[in-house]
Amino acid sequence: MRWDALFDDLEAQMAATNVAADESEIADLTRLEQSGVSLADRLRGQTQLTLRIHTSGGVVFNGLLSHVGSEWIVLESGLSTTLIPSFSIQLIEGMGRQIRQEHSAVHRRLGLGAALRALARDRARVVIYGSSESVRVEGIIDRVGSDFVEIAAVARGEQRRPGNVGGVFAIPFRGMAAVSSHP
């Protein structure tokens, strides 16, 4: 009888050791898998959630995450749409647990320049918030280069015409914290 109890105890210890080893291996595999997840993939899983984004320029934006590019995100709030370069994101609040990878090679290559060119094409009125709190320019995007944007400062309600331009400003992509457009 004592031998049966001893063998039962040894078997239980061995089973517990195997379970612990399996759990440790699963945890290691989970951590390894998570290490390959990009912020863009993590944010794609948050599409249609309301997020609060703190930017390098000290400005905080709240809105529904509607689009995620390889180098940018778009938040919608009321009539305002805000494009935020990924490099200017300092903190994100309100995220769920989901992850979604982008399978389209075309979408993975759409960088910040492509998103800004769409705003320039539409002649959208924008406000560019700089990565420094003192930089804020409102107007119409004139030109988008490979690593910069030019904006013509035009008074609200005015069209982009030579006589209405208060100045043209070049802003490097890295100097932008966010770009908001308003109808």
Residue 83 β-bridge partners: 74, 179
What integer is the mean pLDDT of 35-40? Answer: 78
Nearest to 84 by CA among 64, 55, 107: 55
Question: Is residue 38 classed as helix, strand or coil in its secondary structure?
Answer: coil
d(CA 100, CA 105): 14
Residue 111 shares a structural domain with residue 70 = yes
Residue 29 shares a structural domain with residue 44 = no
Domain hosting residue 140, numbered range = 39-181
Give the pLDDT band of residue 18 (cuts 50, 70, 90): confident
d(CA 103, CA 44): 11
Residue 119 shares a structural domain with residue 61 = yes
* Stated pTM of the model: 0.78
Residue type at position 87: F
Residue 68 shares a structural domain with residue 27 = no
* Number of domains comprising the chain: 2
* Residue entry with tokens 């599409």: 47
Q: What is the pLDDT of residues 98-142, one digit of tens each?
A: 887 776 766 667 789 999 999 999 988 999 999 988 899 999 999
Per-chain mean pLDDT for the chain: 85
Residue 124 shares a structural domain with residue 60 = yes
Residue 59 shares a structural domain with residue 148 = yes
Whether the predicted pLDDT of 174 surpasses 70: yes
Residue 32 shares a structural domain with residue 43 = no
Helix residue ranges, H only, the chain? 2-34, 39-44, 105-109, 112-121
Q: Please report, for the domain that includes residue 85, its CATH number.
A: 2.30.30.600
Residue 32 shares a structural domain with residue 49 = no
Whether the predicted pLDDT of 14 surpasses 60: yes
d(CA 65, CA 52): 10
Q: Output the CA torsion sign for 19, 20, 21, 24.
A: positive
Residue 47 shares a structural domain with residue 31 = no
Residue 26 shares a structural domain with residue 49 = no
